[in-house]
Amino acid sequence: MHIELNEEQELLRETVRRFADEVVKPKAKEIDETGEFPMDFYRQAGELGLAGVCVPEEHGGAGMDVVSYTLVIEEISRVCASSGVILSVNNSLVCDPIQRFATAEQKQEFLVPLAKGEKLGCFALTEPGAGSDAAALRSTAVREGDHYVLNGNKVFITNGTHADIALVFASVDLEQKHRGITAFLVPMDTPGFSRGGHEVKLGVNASGTTELAFEDMRIPASWRLGEEGEGFKVAMSTLDGGRIGIAAQALGIAQGAYEEAVAYSKDREQFGRSLSNFQAIQFYLADMSTEIDAARLLTWKAAWTKQSQKRYTLEAAQAKLFAAEMAQRVTNKALQIHGGYGYTRDYNVERYFRDARITEIYEGTSEVHKMVIADWVLNKA
């Protein structure tokens, strides 16, 4: 694995950073406060090829590699974590499983508009009684001829308020537990569907999180993704890739907070000199810089392993675990460097501090990732 970016990746990072600074950053504070879903940003990102970074060009995507995808999510999240996770979900939790499991007809119908950014996707797995224990879901899909009748509720669905297409997981036989779970691609204008209101959260407040409900929804069997009973495999393999995206998001949040802290430490004076001249502050910044670089290397390693078509469950879990916990530590230090001002909404650092918290929870809690890593160390190493 090469740890230096190639010329194409460097150009991509520069392009996305410019887009983030010029288009995303000016509205980041406003959408955090109002909860307004940044659909204009998503459409513009789609025009740049950022809605389907790794999707082949023949299916509407940019045809880039997985490391490039992490660069995109990091750079967007560096200025706005809500916008970063919106892209992450569409790329890794929706486009990726469709690319891997869909038929040619399904790719044309669903993947092409999603990868182009013409439509927005969401990943509907979590339920009121099924969070980390995804196999405990209670949504059902009953076969009736050439259709399924879908019933159930999903919660905490990122992009759910504005998504056009949902990747929904439901059981064709609850007694079979995880072996009965099946995946479906569901346009959200299908009769029998409803969505709740926007969830106001501690952080990533503009990510369109909501509840979805399916009541006697009749969907054609042609919308099933994969075979009956393969849904749990689809979900778990998809989440491995999604964890790389959240690692990149956490990395971007930390990088943004770090940059704010460095600038503030140079400008702010106390006791007749800038904060950056105090050894305590220098040590904070040294720790922050080192941890960010360590997380970036773990994230790139996971991305490279996925791109190499090797099993990457361990690498994804390690990257997501470390990056999420690193983001907590870095944003905490960044706020401390800002002192009282950092605790106010006049400075971006308090938003970074709030946004970092969710990265330890969604797409697998830190505790779940430790279980995954421990299982690998004890049983598969």
User: What are the catalytic residues?
Assistant: 363
Beta strands in the chain, from DSSP E residues, in sequence order: 121-124, 140-144, 147-157, 165-171, 181-187, 193-195, 210-220, 224-225, 269-270, 273-274
From residue 64, alpha-carbon distances to 54, 265, 275 in Å are 5, 37, 42
CB contact burial 309-338 (16+ within 10 A = b; e otherwise) = eeebbbbbbbbbbbbbbbbbebbbbbbbbb
> How far apart, in whole angstroms, are the C-alpha atoms of residue 117 and residue 48?
9
Neighbours of 97 (CB within 10 A): 25
Cβ contacts of residue 310 below 8 Å, gap of 6+?
Answer: none
CB contact burial 179-197 (16+ within 10 A = b; e otherwise) = bbbbbbbbebeeeebebbe
Q: Output the CA angle 372-331-121, nearest 5 degrees.
A: 60
Q: What is the DSSP string of 159-192?
A: TTTT-SEEEEEEES-GGGGGGGEEEEEEETTSTT
Q: How many CA atoms lie within 13 A of 380 on its CB side?
A: 10
What's the first-to-final CA gap in the chain, in angstroms? 20
> How far apart, in whole angstroms, are the C-alpha atoms of residue 337 and residue 80?
21
The answer to whether the beta carbons of residues 129 and 204 sit under 8 Å apart is no
Residue 358 CA, chain-centre distance (Å), reads 11
The answer to whether the beta carbons of residues 84 and 236 sit under 8 Å apart is no
Q: Output the CA angle 200-202-203, nearest 5 degrees.
A: 95
